[in-house]
């Protein structure tokens, strides 16, 4: 893609000439001159400089729409050509959350690299609320998450599911019946909540317990608030964490209750926490490999998705078949 178009796109993404220049490794005056030259050629400004951050003019919106389309066409061309080489070259650019990158796909990454050592595989990490922007701007080939996406622009291929539990420090449970209906980590490891279920506990019993939630841009926060709303209470939020792992460890130190994936419970168990299943469709998270709706689904992409599924094959709680 033409360098000038890359400049326009970076200014749009950052909303600032100075930040864009830093990211592009050029001086701000050089960037301003390049943008002004385009504006002079079309006799219209691309950015409204009276706003901070910068906003697009009508001409700027047309430019950005077409630049993104050109970028995706270039990516599709690259993927199509790479497929001719039978996975012996090329690249695969992925992005996911810290939880997914750390707990769900490492085995698939390891197997992919071992099977296709000549393919350059890169992995970015971002919180769930920002992942779709990486795809939008053509910075990655696929994003992996359980959040929402615009189905008119993107398509998702499901490959994994997990389940949310409420983790509560024992010190907050004074009523013996509540404790009797909880599960310890060892019981969850044996899938007792499926094979030998205990009576469900309405979560409003924990409305006075301090909660540890994720920040606003995380999909799990949206789910947590929806679950609390279904149980007719507003959580008393003590701390907000950027990462699920942080909230879990804070809960393990008795600082409050949090919503946690059963995958993490299996990997890290703490004796001072007990767990309660959540009777809500919101508590089942389906993870998708999300790509542009009209993207060419390359063999690199298909192979990785297949490996990610096979990693969890035979584990019915998590596995999603084709």
- Give the pLDDT confidence score for residue 322 in this predicted structure: 60
Q: What is the largest CA-CA distance in the chain?
A: 76
Sequence-separated (6 or more) residues with CB below 8 Å from residue 312: 160, 318, 319, 320
Distance of CA 308 to the CA centre of its chain: 15
Which residues in the chain show pLDDT less than 70? 1-2, 314, 316, 322
Look at residue 240 in the predicted model and tell me its pLDDT. Answer: 96
d(CA 137, CA 132): 9
For 22, other C-beta atoms within 10 Å of its C-beta total 15
- For residues 211 and 235, give the distance between their C-alpha atoms in angstroms, rounded to a whole number: 6
Task: Give dist(CA 12, CA 66) in Å, integer.
Answer: 13
> What's residue 1's pLDDT?
54
Look at the block and give the residue holding tokens 């910075």: 139
Torsion of CA 286, 292, 298, 302, to 10 degrees: 0
Tokens of 145: 């998450």
Domains of the chain: 3-63 (1.10.10.10), 161-284 (3.40.190.10)
What's the predicted TM-score (pTM) here?
0.83
Phi, psi of 73 (to 5 degrees): -60, -40
Instruction: Give yes or no for a contact between 160 and 318, defined as CB atoms under 8 angstroms apart.
Output: yes
Give the torsion sign (CA, 251, 257, 258, 260): positive
In a 13 Å sphere around the CA of 175, the CA atoms on its Cβ side amount to 7
The DSSP output letter for 257 is: B
Looking at the chain, list the stretches that DSSP marks H as alpha helix, in order from N- to C-terminal side: 3-14, 17-24, 28-42, 58-83, 98-103, 106-115, 131-136, 176-180, 185-189, 192-195, 219-230, 244-252, 262-267, 299-311
* Amino acid 175: pLDDT: 87
């Amino acid at each position: 893609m033409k360098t000038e178009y890359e400049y326009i796109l970076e200014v749009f993404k950052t909303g600032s000439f100075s930040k864009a220049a830093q990211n592009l490794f050029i001086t701000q005056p050089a960037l301003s001159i390049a943008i002004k030259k385009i504006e002079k050629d079309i006799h219209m400004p691309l950015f409204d400089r009276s706003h901070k951050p910068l906003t697009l003019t009508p001409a700027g919106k047309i430019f950005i729409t077409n630049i993104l389309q050109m970028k995706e066409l270039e990516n599709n061309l690259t993927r199509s050509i790479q497929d001719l080489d039978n996975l012996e070259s090329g690249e695969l650019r992925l992005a996911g959350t810290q939880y997914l990158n750390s707990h769900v796909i490492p085995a698939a990454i390891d197997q992919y690299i071992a099977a296709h050592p000549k393919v350059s595989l890169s992995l970015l990490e971002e919180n769930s609320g920002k992942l779709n922007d990486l795809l939008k701007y053509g910075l990655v080939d696929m994003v992996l998450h359980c959040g929402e996406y615009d189905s008119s622009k993107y398509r998702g291929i499901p490959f994994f599911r997990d389940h949310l539990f409420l983790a509560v420090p024992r010190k907050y449970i004074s009523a013996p019946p509540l404790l009797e209906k909880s599960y310890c980590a060892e019981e969850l490891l044996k899938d007792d909540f499926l094979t030998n279920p205990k009576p469900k506990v309405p979560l409003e019993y924990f409305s006075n317990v301090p909660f540890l939630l994720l920040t606003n841009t995380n999909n799990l926060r949206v789910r947590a608030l929806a679950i609390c709303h279904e149980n007719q209470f507003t959580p008393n939020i003590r701390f907000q964490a950027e990462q699920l792992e942080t909230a879990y460890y804070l809960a393990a130190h008795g600082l409050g209750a949090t919503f946690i994936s059963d995958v993490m419970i299996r990997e890290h168990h703490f004796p001072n926490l007990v767990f309660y299943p959540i009777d809500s469709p919101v508590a089942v998270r389906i993870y998708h490999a999300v790509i542009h709706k009209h993207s060419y689904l390359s063999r690199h992409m298909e192979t990785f998705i297949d490996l990610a599924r096979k990693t969890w094959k035979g584990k019915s709680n998590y596995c999603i078949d084709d």
